[in-house]
Every structure is written in C-alpha cells, then in structure tokens.
Amino acid sequence: YETMSGTSMASPVVAGVAALVLSANRDLSAARVKDVLLQTGNIREALKTKIRSGKIVNALKAVRKAQQLKKPVAAPSATVASN
C-alpha cells in the first residue's frame, strides 16, 4: 500500500459521495448535488489557501442534507363511489 494525496485521489472520493447523495434523493440536479457537497463539507484551515472551498467532503452530512431536500410525496386521494 502507498499513501497518495491530491485532486487525483480526492476526485473518486467526492464522486462516490455524490453518488450517495443521488441515491438519497434522485430528484437533485447535478448543480444541486454540487451545492449539497459544498454546503456540508468540513472546513479545514490547512486547505483554505489550497482549494476554493477550504473543505473536505462529509458523506454523512451530505446524505442527510439530500434527504432533507426530498419533496414530500402527496398521499393518494381517496375516491368515493356514488351509487
């Protein structure tokens, strides 16, 4: 095994979390998935000067946020038969 870092290693991780987000809420657009990932990441001071967001992805927070954004499913309406 070897330790590696950088965007080449981060990209597959973030793609995997994006897939988890979509599995939690299939109605999200690609742009909305990106927003969820950016909003729910954990700030790291060491990253503030290296990457725009200054965050690392947080899968649990991202999935929970995606679930919160689900549209409520309307209950089926009851029909009454008249004679």
Cβ atoms within 10 Å of 24's Cβ, excluding its own: 18
Q: Which residue has the higher pLDDT, 80 or 1?
A: 1
pLDDT surpassing 70 at residue 83: no
Write out pLDDT tens, residues 1-11. 888 877 788 89
Whole-angstrom distance, CA of residue 36 vs CA of residue 29: 11
Write out pLDDT tens, residues 58-79. 999 999 999 999 987 777 776 6
DSSP state of 47: G
pLDDT surpassing 70 at residue 80: no
Q: Which pLDDT belongs to residue 82?
A: 63
Cα-based angle 40, 14, 35 (whole degrees, multiple of 5): 40
Q: Which pLDDT belongs to residue 29?
A: 97
- Residue burial 33-70, b: 16+ Cβ < 10 Å; e: rest: beebbeebbeeeeeeeeeeeeebebbbebbbebbeeee
